[in-house]
Amino acid sequence: MQAIRAALFAVATTVVLSSTATAQDYPSKPIKLIVPTAAAGIGDIVARQLQQKFSEANVTIVVENRPGAAGVIGTNEVARAPADGYTFLVGNHAVLAMLPHLQKVPYDPFKSFMPVFLAVAVPNILVVHPTVPAKNVKELIAHVKANPGKLTYASANTSGVVAGATLKHWAKLDMLHVPYKSAPNALQDLLPGRVSMMFNDFTTSLPHIKSKAIRPLASTRLKRSSLFPELPTMDEAGVEGFDMDSWAGIFAPANTPQPIVTQLNTELRKIIDSPETKQKLRSAGFEAFSSSPKELDDFVKAQLAKWGRMVKDAGIQPE
């Protein structure tokens, strides 16, 4: 891992970071990773893993959680930060692909940031409380229709909002939406059965699935996840085209020196591609990815278009 520090210093001869410091000094102070969500979420877990790996090379990474306004506060902080290579966003599907379709945001998903690296994807799954007598999505739809207005679905984030609204709209279901600020809060009510179901990420759901406190019915991507290959997809269950993944990647403020972005991408790929890191992420319920900045840029563009279609198809009106 000493190669990380050597490589980052090697960027030095080509770029001016500010009027007083050249890239020869980089990094001359801690590098800040802004996570626009609370601790223990997808982005936070990724950031902590990177923090640990960089510390082995004596490169200081400071992880700062900036939750609020569904992630807008932390995301906008990075958009407004100096483009000097010392502040990066652990961006995700919600703040960069979904929220722009749901509300007015103070940043542009593309113009405000430079993509650096796609790190992980996490399948979302539909889970129900065991008192719901459904073993698959078709049985769930039939049960809800037989009990109009009696069942509830929780949402812990914008993904849960869109996923729940999509199922409700597609199947013409009469059930109540109960929003929460975070997955742990929503699970606190799902586990004792105060709410009937929710779409949640695989990572935070897994311990409760293993203990049989909640029952998984389907994953939300088109193809089955390698993390849970026996679980059918919503598409297989008949909700055609249902395709939602949670993901996280690293983004820099616009105009960050390209050599810094390129070199950071190189070092991040070495970390994520290592068998040790892949196994750690997999055990946490993540599928590790490795991308170039251009591949991440193309990915976000496709995600933005996809979420726009899903928001429209679900009948959700922007705020």
| Beta-carbon-side half-sphere exposure of residue 186 (alpha carbons within 13 Å) | 27
The model's pLDDT over 61-76, given as tens digits with 9 standing for 90+, comes to 999 999 989 899 999 9
Query: What are the tens digits of pLDDT across the range 44-103?
Result: 989 999 999 999 888 999 999 999 898 999 999 999 999 999 999 999 999 999 999 999
Give the number of C-alpha atoms closer than 13 A to the C-alpha of residue 134, restricted to the C-beta side: 24
**Quick one: 149 and 112 in the same domain?**
no
Nearest to 268 by CA among 284, 234, 237, 291: 291
DSSP state of 94: I
Return the CATH number at 134.
3.40.190.10
Each residue's pLDDT tens digit, 27-38? 889 999 999 998
Better pLDDT: 18 or 121:
121
CA distance 218 to 64: 33
Supply the pLDDT for residue 12.
Answer: 40
Residue 228 lies in a domain: no
| 15 lies in the same domain as 112 | yes
Note whether 7 and 100 are same-domain residues: yes
**280 is in which domain, residue-wise?**
2-122+246-313
Same domain, 63 and 88: yes
Considering the domain boundaries, does residue 72 fall inside one? yes
Tell me whether residue 240 is in a domain.
Answer: no
**What pLDDT was estimated at residue 1?**
54
Domain CATH code at residue 102: 3.40.190.150
Please provide the average confidence, as pLDDT, over all residues in the chain: 89
pLDDT 10s digits, 182-195: 888 899 999 999 99
20 or 309, higher pLDDT: 309
pLDDT at 171 over 90: yes
Residue environment code for 47-86, b if the CB has 16+ CB neighbours within 10 A, otherwise e:
bbbbbebbeebebebebebbbebbbbebbbbbbebebbbb
Question: By C-alpha distance, which of 122, 74, 120 is closest to 99?
Answer: 74
Same domain, 15 and 113: yes
118 and 7 within one domain: yes
231: in domain: no
> How far is the C-alpha of 171 from the C-alpha of 149, rounded, in Å?
14
Is it the case that residue 13 has pLDDT exceeding 60? no
* Judgement on whether residues 9 and 118 belong to the same structural domain of the protein: yes
Bridge partners for 64 per DSSP = 34
Closest CA to 184 of 211, 166, 207: 207
Q: What percentage of the chain exceeds 70 in pLDDT? A: 92
This prediction has a pTM of 0.85
Same domain for 33 and 98, yes or no, is: yes
Position 290 scores a pLDDT of 87
Q: For residues 227-251, give the mean pLDDT.
A: 91
Same domain, 97 and 146: no
More confident: 245 or 257? 257
State the number of CA atoms in the 13 A half-sphere of 13 facing the CB.
3
Residue 203 pLDDT > 90, yes or no?
Answer: no
Whether 318 shows a pLDDT value over 90: the answer reads no
pLDDT of the residue at 21: 39
Is a pLDDT exceeding 90 seen at residue 212? yes
Of 202, 219, 236, which residue constitutes the final position of a domain?
Answer: 219
pLDDT value at residue 19: 34
pLDDT the model gives residue 8: 57
Q: What is the token pair recorded at 279?
A: 């196994």
Domain assignment present for residue 304? The answer is yes
Dihedral of the CA atoms 95, 98, 99, 102 (nearest 10)?
A: -170
Q: Are residues 78 and 185 in the same domain?
A: no
Domain termination site, one of 219, 254, 281: 219
Residue 275 has pLDDT above 50, yes or no: yes
Helical packing angle, 158-171 and 137-146, nearest 10° = 70
Classify residue 133: in a domain, yes or no.
Answer: yes
Residue 122 backbone phi and psi in degrees, to 5: -130, 120
| 30 and 10 fall within a common domain | yes
Residues 6+ apart with CB under 8 A from 212: 130
Domain boundary among 219, 237, 267: 219
- Residues 92 and 148 occupy one common structural domain: no
Domain count for the chain: 2
Whether residue 225 lies inside any domain: the answer is no
Q: Which helix (H) or strand (E) holds 177?
A: strand 176-179
Residue 3: per-residue pLDDT: 58
On whether residue 195 sits in a domain, the answer given is: yes
- Whole-number Å distance between alpha carbons of 295 and 315: 30
